[in-house]
Amino acid sequence: MPNFPDLGLRRAAGSSDGENLTGAGWMIVSCLGATAMSVMVRLLGDAQMEAVQMAFLRSALGVVVLAPIFVRAAARHEAMPVRFSRPWMHLVRGTLFAVATTTGFYALAHLPLATATTLFFLAPVFATVFAALFAGERVGPRRWSAVGAAFLGALVILQPGVLPLDLAMVAAVASALMFALALLITRPLSSADGATSIMLSSAVVAAAVLIVPTALAWVPVPVWAWGLVAVLVLASQLRMIADVRAYSLADAGFLAPFAFIRLLFVAAAGWLFFREGIDAPTLLGAAIIVGSSVFIAWREARLKRTGGS
């Protein structure tokens, strides 16, 4: 799945060198967590577990993992307020998160890990388009050019008209699309209710939304597979916490290249565990998408300093 990067905590440029470096360290931790999560999804998929069941277990058990963190923080009188001033927005965002997670897990279970991950990186590209269409953000010709280039990169990977339609590739693009829509809601919601509330509502709403489809698709989980589920849940929570820490410390433009280290980690894991290579179209498409996404992130960070589009 795509990174769900900042939970509204994206800083304007101005972090110190030390904060930027610490943020980069947290981003690398996030990339490692995302890679471990991707490997667990593939292994569970090979064990015939459906993507919706994995997504449900991630969300439901994620609440269990997060609860002690919030209780401990409250005991230490740390400022982690939980409030839901816009419940309908939490419901919509949680539903989008549920769909994005399920389609993303389906893609990871059926595609080479590097291919799925590359297509997930369309999320910030979609987010730029949605910000222009629905949030009234002014997007200038440079960012529109980067958006166009990213979609060209996706076409290079998908090869429509050359290869038969691959449902898993469609699922990967759909996951990026759903995450981008969720991100559109995240920023104003975070300002109103805070990152803690968003993390909790995402897990709770997603688990509730996925209960019925999971019950219909449930596959008995062998004892050994519960170990994989545990790693999946812990890795996903580590990734989320690391993302929040990274973007609360460092400039978004500075972090952008570090976020894409994930692709290198995932490609290495795909080769190490599943002997997956990267074909030429995927490599070319990845270079285009990653380059475009890094430029968009850098440009947005610069515009926050200078204004403009």
Worst-scoring range by mean pLDDT, 7-11, 74-78, 260-264?
A: 7-11
Matching residue, tokens 């277990």: 57
Give the global pTM: 0.89
Distance in Å from the first CA to the final CA of the chain: 28
pLDDT-derived band of residue 74, with 50, 70 and 90 as boundaries? low
Whole-angstrom Cα distance, residue 57 to residue 50?
A: 11
Nearest alpha-carbon partner for 281 in 171, 170, 157: 157
SS (H, E, C) 262-301: HHHHHHHHHHHHHCCCCCHHHHHHHHHHHHHHHHHHHHHH
pLDDT in tens, 272-305: 999 998 889 999 999 999 999 888 888 777 777 6
pLDDT-derived band of residue 8, with 50, 70 and 90 as boundaries? very low
Matching residue, tokens 């816009």: 86
φ and ψ at residue 179, rounded to 5 degrees: -65, -35
Judge whether residue 6 has pLDDT over 50: no
Higher model confidence: residue 271 or residue 198?
271
pLDDT-derived band of residue 71, with 50, 70 and 90 as boundaries? low
Tokens of 57: 């277990």
